[in-house]
């Protein structure tokens, strides 16, 4: 008895579940019934090469996606093989639902227009509805040698519903006869042949899909006819189209041209260097010029290497020592001795060793101290050399930057998606500048590593490159995104404007006459520091090579980037001497300066110079940086090709 009751209860529950399922499933069940029963497109090709298209779309609505009506997407902007834009006309002539005029509105969507059919305040009743959309368009025909052609995506490939029947009727221009035809079905890029072709009467043909088109699939047709039945655009008309379609790109190109003209004019006026003098080898640096000063004058500015040269010079003078431990960490220690420091070097000493401090490790925990020492030296060098010896002329960059922003702004405003283009423009403008300076840092790291920086230099270069790689990828992806929302040509113009600003940032720097004379003497001294042995014989009475001379000019060689060449001149001399002007020489162990101790000496004189110019300089650069502060008909066609709804489609709303 109990078993029978349970069985009856189970049967009742199953019956209730079956009755309630349509109500409980709601939209999910309804979604399965929404579909396009018939998609008919009738196309008239006119003599002026324009077209009239009437689309009749019969749908079954269930209140899920089709609530107020349907929408239809039409691409109106294309990129040709040269990356320039083609903009076609799209003009709505009539919209109906079930034979009655229907409200509609349009909205720009990326590279085209979306037509919303229906009233936003009115829901359509569930059931069958027939929508008709009639519109006019132009520039959809292809003009080839020996024939003209319509290559047309009938349905679009973006529908979210099944299309159970799809058909296109094409009316050729008056008097024309079909030369060739083709059709394609399937998803974007596919070349399915599930269609039937029927010539109806002369000049009218029909294409019919022979299977249901699933969501994302479409019907594309191509038909050609002999030339002479439609007007082909003249050269003047093509030029007018090009200028109209690519106004944003042309504005950007004009802005770039104006920018380059401005910079070239300013460079000729204030950025051209005075004529270079005759370079004569100098056996001494210019009187009173420190290694850091030599670097500052030759580079027109301050960098980590100028600071490194100053510290090494302070060590050579006996004011401090440089110690490298087994972990390749460096420590600077004062000797307590008096030394003839320059004003800039004295400023460095006061910042590194305040209040009697005797040592400082080159680690990031001391970044504020090291950065303040760099700033102090920079200020001294700026006071001594800027304006008197060279001019940065940075004020002339401001109009250039304004011209750049104006050109890029005009391109963004005329893009298919102005807001997105403006955002990407602003982001890339700043990002590209940051990438440039990051690239310079990577370049210097690899130059140091390949120039004898040893394992430490190579590791540092690899780490810096690995850190920078995602930022470089971000730059490339940003340009691809910009090309998508604007044009590829626009992306190239953006890169060109930023490149022009960065290049002229350097070119506008120029030495004064006084600065040029000083640079000539420094170049003469650099020639002496870097001379090869065979060329040394041609010099007139060069000074005798001694350990003292090597150490005296080593900071200058570091500053001028010729420490390797300078060291090679002394390899034999120091090997024979086995001594140093300092206290740390060890007889029988070769050259060991008293102001340096570390593993760099184990790699010989070349390794020692590399350690100073690579690992030591890199340690200073890393330690003086705060943590985290450096951081896109005749065959060969496919479904989705051609004009019309190609790349578009539709849905319910």
HEC profile of 521-537: HHHHHHHHHCCCHHHHC
Contact 636, 182 (CB under 8 A): no
Whether 6 shows a pLDDT value over 70: the answer reads: no
pLDDT at 4: 43
Query: What is the rounded CA–CA span in Å between residue 633 and residue 28?
Result: 41
Whether 299 shows a pLDDT value over 70: the answer reads: yes
Query: What is the rounded CA–CA span in Å between residue 178 and residue 205?
Result: 8
Instruction: For residue 283, give the nearest of 566, 89, 85 by alpha carbon.
Output: 566
CA atoms within 13 A on the CB side of 624: 19
pLDDT at 256: 92
Helix (H) or strand (E) holding 174: none
DSSP per-residue codes, 229-253: SSPPPPHHHHHHHHHHHTHHHHHHH
Whether 84 shows a pLDDT value over 80: the answer reads: no
Query: What is the rounded CA–CA span in Å between residue 52 and residue 48?
Result: 12
Q: Report, as an integer, the average pLDDT of 17-45.
A: 65
pLDDT at 248: 79
Paired tokens of 285 = 């640096």
In the beta sheet, which residues pair with residue 52? 44, 136
Query: What is the rounded CA–CA span in Å between residue 195 and residue 538?
Result: 87
Instruction: For residue 56, give the nearest of 166, 152, 191 by alpha carbon.
Output: 166
Bridge-based pairing of strands 204-209 and 195-201 is: antiparallel
More confident residue, 33 or 522: 522
Write down all domains in the chain, each with its CATH number in brackets.
35-233 (2.60.40), 244-271+395-508 (no CATH), 291-393+511-576+593-620 (no CATH)
Q: Report, as an integer, the average pLDDT of 251-277.
A: 89
Residue 452 CA, distance from chain mean position? 32
Whether 87 shows a pLDDT value over 50: the answer reads: yes
Q: Report, as an integer, the average pLDDT of 341-366.
A: 89
Contact 650, 65 (CB under 8 A): no
DSSP per-residue codes, 70-83: EEEEEE-EEE-TTS
Q: Report, as an integer, the average pLDDT of 519-540.
A: 76
Q: For the segment 490-529, what is each residue's pLDDT rounded down to a tens digit?
A: 888 888 998 899 899 888 988 888 989 999 999 999 998 8
Token pair 């007018």 is at which residue?
Answer: 240
Question: How long is the chain?
Answer: 653
Contact 618, 600 (CB under 8 A): no
Token pair 């800039």 is at which residue?
Answer: 344
> CB neighbours (10 Å) of residue 4?
8
Instruction: For residue 456, give the nearest of 630, 603, 307, 316 by alpha carbon.
Output: 603
Instruction: For residue 131, give the nearest of 54, 236, 208, 47 by alpha carbon.
Output: 54
Contact 67, 652 (CB under 8 A): yes
Whether 198 shows a pLDDT value over 90: the answer reads: yes
Bridge-based pairing of strands 359-361 and 195-201 is: unpaired
Please state which of the ranges 107-111, 173-177, 249-253, 649-653 shows the lowest mean pLDDT. 649-653
What phi, psi does 431 have (nearest 5°)? -60, -40
Paired tokens of 236 = 């003047």
DSSP per-residue codes, 262-290: HHHHHIIIIISPPPP------SSPPTT--
Bridge-based pairing of strands 166-171 and 35-45 is: parallel
pLDDT at 417: 73
Q: Which of 68-82, 297-311, 617-631 has the highest mean pLDDT?
A: 297-311
Question: What pTM did the predictor assign?
Answer: 0.61
Residue 428 CA, distance from chain mean position? 7
Query: What is the rounded CA–CA span in Å between residue 610 and residue 601?
Result: 10
Burial class (CB in 10 A: 0-12, 13-18, 19+), 276: exposed
SS3 38: strand
E strands present in 325-433 = 330-334, 359-361, 390-391
Q: For the segment 279-288, what is each residue's pLDDT rounded down to a tens digit?
A: 888 889 999 9
Q: For the segment 584-622, what is each residue's pLDDT rounded down to a tens digit?
A: 444 444 567 888 887 655 555 555 666 676 667 666 766
Please state which of the ranges 16-20, 266-270, 410-414 shows the lowest mean pLDDT. 16-20
Query: What is the rounded CA–CA span in Å between residue 286 and residue 246?
Result: 58
Degrees, nearest 5: CA angle 143-489-400: 145
Query: What is the rounded CA–CA span in Å between residue 610 and residue 616?
Result: 9
User: What is the chain's mean pLDDT, rounded?
Assistant: 81
Contact 493, 248 (CB under 8 A): no
pLDDT at 625: 57
């Amino acid at each position: 008895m109990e078993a029978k009751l349970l069985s009856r209860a189970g049967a009742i529950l199953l019956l209730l579940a079956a009755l309630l399922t349509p109500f409980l499933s709601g939209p999910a069940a309804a979604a399965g019934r929404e579909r396009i029963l018939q998609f008919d497109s009738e196309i008239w090709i006119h003599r002026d090469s324009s077209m009239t298209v009437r689309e009749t779309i019969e749908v079954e609505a269930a209140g899920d996606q089709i609530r107020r009506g349907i929408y239809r997407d039409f691409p109106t902007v294309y990129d040709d093989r040269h990356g320039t834009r083609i903009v076609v006309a799209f003009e709505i002539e009539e919209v109906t639902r079930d034979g009655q005029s229907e409200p509609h509105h349009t909205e720009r969507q990326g590279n085209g227009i979306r037509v919303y059919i229906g009233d936003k305040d009115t829901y359509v009743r569930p059931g069958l509805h027939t929508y008709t959309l009639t519109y006019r368009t132009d520039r959809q025909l292809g003009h080839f040698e020996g024939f003209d052609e319509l290559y047309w995506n009938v349905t679009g490939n973006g529908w979210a519903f099944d299309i159970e029947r799809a058909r296109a009727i094409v009316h050729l221009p008056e008097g024309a006869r079909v030369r060739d035809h083709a059709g394609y079905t399937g998803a974007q890029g596919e070349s399915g042949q599930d269609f039937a072709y029927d010539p109806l009467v002369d000049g009218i043909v029909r294409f019919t899909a022979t299977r249901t088109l699933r969501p994302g699939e479409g019907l594309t047709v191509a038909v050609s006819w002999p030339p002479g039945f439609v007007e082909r655009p003249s050269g003047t008309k093509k030029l007018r189209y090009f200028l109209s379609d690519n106004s944003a790109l042309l504005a950007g190109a004009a802005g770039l041209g104006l920018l380059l003209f401005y910079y070239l004019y300013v460079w000729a006026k204030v950025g051209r260097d005075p004529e270079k003098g005759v370079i004569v080898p100098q056996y001494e640096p210019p009187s009173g010029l420190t290694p850091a000063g030599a670097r500052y004058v030759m580079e027109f500015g301050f960098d980590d290497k100028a600071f490194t040269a100053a510290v090494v010079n302070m060590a050579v003078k006996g004011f401090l020592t440089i110690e490298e431990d087994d972990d390749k960490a460096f420590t600077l220690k004062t000797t307590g001795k008096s030394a003839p420091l320059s004003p800039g070097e004295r400023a460095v000493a006061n910042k590194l060793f305040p209040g009697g401090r005797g040592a400082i490790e080159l680690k990031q925990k001391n970044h504020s101290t090291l950065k303040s020492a760099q700033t102090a030296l920079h200020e001294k060098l700026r006071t001594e050399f800027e304006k008197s010896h060279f001019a940065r002329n940075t004020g002339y960059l401001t109009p250039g930057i304004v011209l750049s922003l104006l050109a890029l702004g005009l391109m963004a405003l005329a893009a298919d998606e102005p807001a997105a283009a403006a955002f990407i423009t602003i982001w890339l403008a700043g990002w590209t500048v940051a990438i440039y300076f990051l690239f310079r840092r990577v370049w210097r790291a690899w130059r140091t590593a390949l120039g004898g920086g040893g394992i430490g230099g190579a590791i540092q270069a690899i780490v810096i490159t690995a850190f920078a790689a995602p930022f470089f990828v971000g730059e490339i992806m940003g340009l691809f995104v910009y090309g998508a929302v604007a044009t590829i040509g626009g992306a190239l113009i953006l890169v060109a404007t930023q490149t022009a600003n960065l290049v002229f940032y350097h070119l506008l720097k120029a030495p004064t006459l006084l600065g040029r004379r000083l640079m000539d003497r420094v170049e003469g001294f650099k020639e002496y520091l870097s001379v090869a042995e065979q060329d040394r014989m041609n010099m007139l009475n060069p000074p005798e090579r001694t350990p003292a001379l090597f150490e005296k000019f080593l900071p200058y060689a570091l500053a001028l980037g010729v420490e390797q060449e300078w060291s090679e001149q002394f390899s034999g001399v120091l090997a024979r001497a086995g001594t140093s002007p300092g206290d740390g020489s060890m007889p029988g162990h070769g050259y060991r300066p008293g102001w340096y101790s570390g593993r760099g000496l184990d790699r010989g004189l070349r390794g020692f110079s590399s350690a100073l110019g690579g690992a030591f300089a890199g340690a200073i650069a890393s330690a003086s940086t705060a943590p985290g502060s450096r951081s896109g008909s005749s065959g060969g066609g496919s479904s989705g090709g051609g004009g019309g709804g190609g790349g578009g489609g539709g849905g319910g709303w």
